[in-house]
Structure 1
Amino acid sequence: MKTILVPTDFSETATNALQYAAAIASQVKGKLIIATIINLPVAPVLSEVINPSLVSLEEDYNKELSRLAENLREKCNHQFEVETICQYGFLLADLNEIVKAEAVDLVVMGTKGATNLLDKLVGTNTSEYIKMATCPVLVIPSGATYTGIKNIAYASDFESEEKIVLQQLFGIAEPFQAQVAIVNVQTNYQLDIVPDKEIIQDIKKNFPDKNFRFAQVQKSKVVAGLYEFIQENPVEVLAVAIQQQGVVEDLFHSSISKQLVQQTKLPLLTLPTKPYRKSGIRSIAQKQPAIKVN
């Protein structure tokens, strides 16, 4: 894990996520990219003309990004590289393009969680993005601080294909020498399509040299079972697989991950079932799009 992307709107929540990401970058000696995507109105896009006020806005954002980057460099004694991106576009649509262009290994985003009924219905930018993300996303709750990562709990239904997801998870865990607990919550309504022993043996076969263990919890609801495990065991990060939009959503992953994003107090690591492949990398950091002014 070498390249970490942090989208920011300069809010308190985003700034907290940036501090968390900086601590990770410092530990793994990686590259940190701070990105701001200025929402582009439809009319200027169609006419290929951008209002002068947007030019001023871009200049202000670039100054703020530069300030953030320099502060991080000084605070962390230049232990890692910091780059910035400021561009016009649409946050949810453009993040994956940046991920591919910059060969990003991890996106770090902040969240306040669902604070009212409207948030629960429409979701936050973070909860919407993780459904379409093509690389792992670490969701940092407001107020969470970095204390190291030694234990990661991964929620598994012991029914889905785990190989692709676990490859990503172990890739993130290894730089921290963290142990992964593969946690299965057994409920009364859960269908045992594939025998648990078969799933366990398959994981052991595919990852013989990785640092992990299995844990099973009996509980009426999956989220309650996961919280029980977290309370009784040392856990710094909770992980879950995510089915991307455009495919039939897995009921376990879609419903559980949504609740976890909204409710968890721990950083939540979401892992796409169809991650992007690193190829044709073209850096766009510190480069801005051409602007036409009427």
Structure 2
Amino acid sequence: MKTILVPTDFSENAFVAAVYACALAGASNQKVQLLHVYIALYAGFGEEGNSVKQIKLAETESAAAMKHLVETLNNQFPGVAIEGECVKGFMIDVVTHKLKRNENSLVVMGTKGVTNITESILGSTTYEVIKKSPIPVLVVPIDTPDFSFQRVGFFTAYDDHELDALMTLQQSINLRPHLSMLHFYKEGENAPEKELARWQRKVEAAFPDWAVSCRAMPVEKVDINAVTQEIKADGLDLLVFARPHKSFFEKIFRPSLTKAIANYPTVPSLFIRT
């Protein structure tokens, strides 16, 4: 059985992501592994005894918070296997090391928290995990409603590597939602109708079990507002972005916009490296 990794700092954002991960695990027959990484803060010139006490206090508080979180999620999702682990260190280092073991199918993370310290730990870590993770990373906004996986939006440039991303999506989640292929082009240019029809046939041939639609939208500027508008127009539950070294997404979206979507998604957003 595959395992979904869910890093958590016990914030409200992280809890929403954990709930989403458990619902997804239940629908796709997977396990959930919660991970909390704590840092014991102490002065290097202080007495050794005080440092040891603070480390033990951090361990105890983390363990208690994890136990409560696991119990809460077990009550809500009795059919899902849920484990919790607390590790001392830095979140990005621990997560990166765990992913090298090839034990996880997916990483699910929350976005920025409401406090400055949560923003600095969870928000920045989410974006760093997206950049470094060899497996898909799913970012869940705090205002995500009940789990739904009916309509998935995929931004496309008609590149074959996107078929690899879709295969990874299928393998990591193993659900069959409606797939809405979305393509932006500049206002004033001709609509790429032939390319869109060709690409739809290619995707349908590769994934015959999926319901597929393709749509091209003229935009003056590709920005987060254009993305949000399409989410609402298409009634999407999830966005999927393929991330090769130089993808369509990276070419048309500035790095700052990539980070903005990762940190402030309107709907759950999945980033797949190909």
State the superposition RMSD in angstroms: 3.4
* Cα 1:228/1:211, change in 2 over 3 Å: same
Instruction: State the TM-score, normalizing by the size of structure 2.
Output: 0.79
* Aligned residue type for 1:217: M
Residues 228 and 266, structure 2, Cα contact 8 Å, conserved in 1: no
Residues 39 and 91, structure 1, Cα contact 8 Å, conserved in 2: no
**Where does residue 22 of structure 2 map in the other structure?**
22
1: CA distance, partners of 2:55 / 2:177: 44
* Cα 1:106/1:219, change in 2 over 3 Å: same
Q: Deviations over 1:42-76 (max 9, x none)?
A: 999xxxxx941212211221122122112211222
**Where does residue 264 of structure 1 map in the other structure?**
265
Once the two structures are TM-superposed, the CA of residue 114 in structure 1 deviates from its matched residue by 11
Which protein has the bigger helix share? 2
Q: How does 1:1-294 map to 2 (within 5 A)?
A: 2-39=2-39, 51-52=51-52, 53-76=54-77, 78-101=78-101, 103-112=103-112, 124-159=124-159, 161-172=161-172, 174-175=174-175, 177-187=176-186, 199-200=199-200, 202-223=202-223, 224-243=225-244, 250-252=250-252, 255=255, 256-273=257-274
1: CA distance, partners of 2:102 / 2:67: 19
* Aligned residue type for 1:185: F
**Where does residue 283 of structure 1 map in the other structure?**
none
* Aligned residue type for 2:207: F
Once the two structures are TM-superposed, the CA of residue 33 in structure 1 deviates from its matched residue by 0.6
* Cα 1:220/1:107, change in 2 over 3 Å: same
Once the two structures are TM-superposed, the CA of residue 157 in structure 1 deviates from its matched residue by 2.6
Q: Deviations over 1:66-123 (max 9, x none)?
A: 22112211222x201111111122211221322343611111111138999xx89xx7
Q: Deviations over 1:143-199 (max 9, x none)?
A: 222232101101123346212211122335642x31111111112599x9xx65665
Structure 2 residue ranges without an equivalent (≥5)? 45-49
* Cα 1:263/1:83, change in 2 over 3 Å: closer
Q: Deviations over 1:230-259 (max 9, x none)?
A: 22222111111234xxx5674336635323
The 3-state SS of whatever aligns with 1:93 is: helix
Residues 28 and 173, structure 2, Cα contact 8 Å, conserved in 1: no
Residues 31 and 82, structure 1, Cα contact 8 Å, conserved in 2: yes
* Aligned residue type for 1:181: S
1: CA distance, partners of 2:125 / 2:188: 32
Kindly tell me the number of residue pairs found equivalent between the two proteins: 257
* Aligned residue type for 1:4: I
Identity among equivalent pairs (%):
25
1: CA distance, partners of 2:211 / 2:174: 8
Residues 240 and 253, structure 1, Cα contact 8 Å, conserved in 2: no
* Cα 1:29/1:197, change in 2 over 3 Å: closer
Instruction: State the TM-score, normalizing by the size of structure 1.
Output: 0.74
1: CA distance, partners of 2:207 / 2:253: 22
Once the two structures are TM-superposed, the CA of residue 134 in structure 1 deviates from its matched residue by 1.4
Residues 106 and 135, structure 2, Cα contact 8 Å, conserved in 1: yes
* Aligned residue type for 1:267: P
2: CA distance, partners of 1:113 / 1:198: 43
The 3-state SS of whatever aligns with 2:132 is: coil
The 3-state SS of whatever aligns with 2:131 is: coil
2: CA distance, partners of 1:221 / 1:171: 34
**Where does residue 47 of structure 2 map in the other structure?**
none
Once the two structures are TM-superposed, the CA of residue 23 in structure 1 deviates from its matched residue by 1.9
* Cα 1:221/1:42, change in 2 over 3 Å: farther
2: CA distance, partners of 1:189 / 1:100: 46
2: CA distance, partners of 1:264 / 1:137: 13
- The structure with higher relative contact order (CA 8 Å, sep 6+) is 1
2: CA distance, partners of 1:227 / 1:201: 27
Q: Deviations over 1:236-290 (max 9, x none)?
A: 11111234xxx567433663532322443211111122xxxxxxxxxxxxxxxxx
